[in-house]
């Protein structure tokens, strides 16, 4: 499983791509976990998850590709506003004109195989479980969210 995840990751992430991991990088043996972590392409920004202990955070920070570690991260991208957390959190509603007027939550933690937490169009699961064990590009997230907003508006 680990080798397949690394293969999938490196097939879509180049060495200079910026990647955000929203927690729970590894379980079990820290030495083996770091051997695997250091095989990932990209410049990695990590948001702490519930399995990311202080010892592991220190290891990640000493890793080959880790740029920075956060408890949560606010990111502006192409006019969109993202609040990246490990745990899902409610950051908006559908009373705005467009996604660009909302703060959108990107999260991990749930291990669900669907990308939208409780079908909320502004709370998106970027976990690999929801994306066939591949990381997902932010542009693809935006497109999926736009489609979900339109779907939800039809129910209002």
Per-residue pLDDT at 156: 61
Give the C-alpha separation, 156 to 116, whole Å: 18
CA 38 from centre of chain: 18
CATH number of the domain at 24, please: 3.60.21.10
Q: Let me know whether 102 and 153 are in one domain.
A: yes
Main-chain dihedrals φ then ψ at residue 152, nearest 5 degrees: -70, -40
Contact 81, 104 (CB under 8 A): yes
Contact in structure between 25 and 33 (CB atoms under 8 Å): yes
User: Does one domain contain both 55 and 66?
Assistant: yes
Whether 67 and 106 share a structural domain: no
Taking the model in full, what pTM does it have? 0.91
Instruction: Specify whether 57 is located in the same domain as 101.
Output: no
Assess whether 2 and 58 both reside in one domain: yes
Same domain, 19 and 47: yes
| Domain final residue, candidates 27, 52, 71 | 71
Check whether 126 has a pLDDT greater than 70: yes
DSSP lists the bridge partners of residue 123 as 105
**pLDDT cut 70: percent of the chain above it:** 96
| Other beta carbons within 10 Å of 44 | 22
Neighbours of 120 (CB within 10 A): 18
For 62, counting Cβ atoms within 10 Å of its Cβ (0-12 exposed, 13-18 middle, 19+ buried), the class is exposed
Domain coverage including residue 27: 1-71
Over the stretch 66-114, which tens digit does the pLDDT of each residue have?
999 999 999 999 999 999 999 999 887 666 667 888 899 999 999 888 9
How many structural domains compose the chain? 2
Average pLDDT over residues 22-32: 93
Quote the percentage of the chain above a pLDDT of 90. Answer: 75
């Amino acid at each position: 499983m680990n080798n397949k995840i690394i293969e999938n990751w490196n097939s879509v992430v180049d060495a200079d791509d910026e990647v955000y991991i929203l927690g729970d990088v590894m379980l079990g043996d820290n030495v083996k976990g770091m051997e695997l972590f250091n095989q990932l392409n990209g410049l990695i920004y990590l948001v702490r998850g519930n399995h990311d202990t202080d010892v592991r955070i220190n290891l990640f920070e000493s890793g080959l590709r880790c740029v920075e570690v956060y408890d949560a991260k606010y990111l502006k991208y192409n006019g969109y506003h993202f609040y990246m957390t490990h745990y899902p959190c409610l950051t908006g509603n559908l009373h705005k004109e467009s996604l660009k007027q909302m703060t959108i939550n990107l999260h991990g933690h749930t291990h669900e195989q669907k990308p939208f937490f409780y079908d909320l169009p502004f709370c998106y699961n970027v976990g690999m479980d929801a994306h066939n064990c591949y990381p997902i590009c932010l542009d693809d997230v935006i497109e999926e969210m736009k489609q979900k907003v339109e779907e939800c508006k039809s129910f209002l």
